[in-house]
A = this chain, B = another copy of it.
Amino acid sequence: MEQEAVVTALAALAQDSRLRVFRLLVTAGPDGLPAGQIAEELAIAANTLSFHLSHLKAAGLVTMRRTGRSLIYAAEYGRVQAVIAYLTENCCRRQSCCDGTDEP
């Protein structure tokens, strides 16, 4: 994963409403939730939520599909895992490791 994409993903999550949306979708699992239900559960105006969902989608953190009139959003869990991998990779190359032990 490239740094630019990681920054975009982190920026997408670095906002109160979006982080709440993402975490709600994480608990919802692969089936996801329609935008309207997200808006209701989190008490966010529909247009504002749409703005935030577009951020999350652009960052690859959620997917969208249509079912009838509803647009269903679901967390793209693998994307977060890639971001996490980027953050933690190459830990302590110049020193012993920082996970508590003193082994290199």
Q: Measuring CB to CB, which residues of chain A are less than 8 angstroms from any residue of chain B?
A: 3-4, 6-7, 10-11, 13-16, 19-20, 22-23, 26-31, 75, 77, 80, 84, 87-88, 90-99
Contacts and interface: CB of A to CB of B under 8 A. Distances in A.
Contacts of A88: 26, 80, 84
A99 B94 CA distance: 33
A29 B10 CA distance: 22
A15 B27 CA distance: 27
Contacts of A3: 16, 19-20
B10 A10 contact: yes
A10 B7 contact: no
The 10 tightest CB contacts between A and B, nearest first, are A29-B95, A29-B92, A10-B14, A11-B14, A27-B93, A14-B14, A77-B98, A27-B90, A10-B13, A84-B84
A1 to B, nearest CB: 12
B90 A29 contact: no
A87 B13 contact: yes
